[in-house]
Amino acid sequence: MQSEGLLRVTGDDGERTDAARNRRLLLDAAAEIVASCGPDKLTTDAVARRAGVGKGTVFRRFGSRAGLLHALADEAGRSFQQAFMAGPPPLGPGAAPLERLVAFGEASIGRMLLDGQILRAAEQRGGPDPEHPTQQLVRLHLAMLLRELDVQDPELASYQLAAFLNAGLLLHLQEHRGMSDARLAASWRVLVVALATAETHS
């Protein structure tokens, strides 16, 4: 079993590098538990055992199980954020705003298979936090595209569209209502096209 201090990396930035590698080890252990057993089995004790460290190490890094879940959700969202902010079109820059809106919804729905359980678990207490940086970034992105479409109130519309893409709602529709990704993506397309068309002809 590894020691409570985990991996020791030497060098000028030894302390920062050590902390980053410790965090990576714990997040990998947590992700493995979620993937194999589901988020309900994710506990600080389970993460500590899988990572081969003491429970106190998990608390020092993340504060609580909720903090660990939010860190996992942030990790899951990082590559997606990179894709819609700087990746290839139509999800990334270079496509027309309506195409990007459609692609954003389709990608958000598609990633539920891999990231949905983590995202839902992080949201469960009181629903998604609208002030969380990830939620703010999603709304800013949606509002930017809506503004390019001359939607009258892009800020409010961004909240409405973000609600459609809530992980808890999408997983409920997929798991309990039997709705396929194709059906959900088609509904998203109808929603954003209708919004853009209504604004164009208003």
Asked which of 18-22, 119-123, 142-146, 198-202 is least confident by mean pLDDT, the reply is 198-202
pLDDT above 90 covers a percentage of the chain that reads 44
d(CA 86, CA 137): 14
**Where exactly are the structural domains of the chain?**
17-123, 133-197
**Over the stretch 92-119, which tens digit does the pLDDT of each residue have?**
999 999 999 999 999 999 988 778 878 7
- The DSSP symbol for 54 reads -
Residue 128: per-residue pLDDT: 60
Share of residues in the chain with pLDDT > 70 (%):
87
Provide the b/e sequence for 15-27 (b: ≥16 CB within 10 Å). eeebeeebeebbb
Topology of the domain comprising 17-123: Tetracycline Repressor; domain 2 (1.10.357)
pTM of the predicted model as reported, rounded to 2 decimal places = 0.72
Q: Which of 117, 112, 108 is nearest to 135 (CA)?
A: 108
**For 90, how many CA atoms within 13 A lie in the half-sphere containing its CB?**
13
Note the pLDDT tens digit of each residue in 126-179.
Answer: 556 677 788 899 999 999 999 999 998 999 999 999 999 988 899 999 999 999
More confident residue, 147 or 18: 147
Tokens for 28?
A: 């990998």
Mean of all residue pLDDT scores within the chain = 84
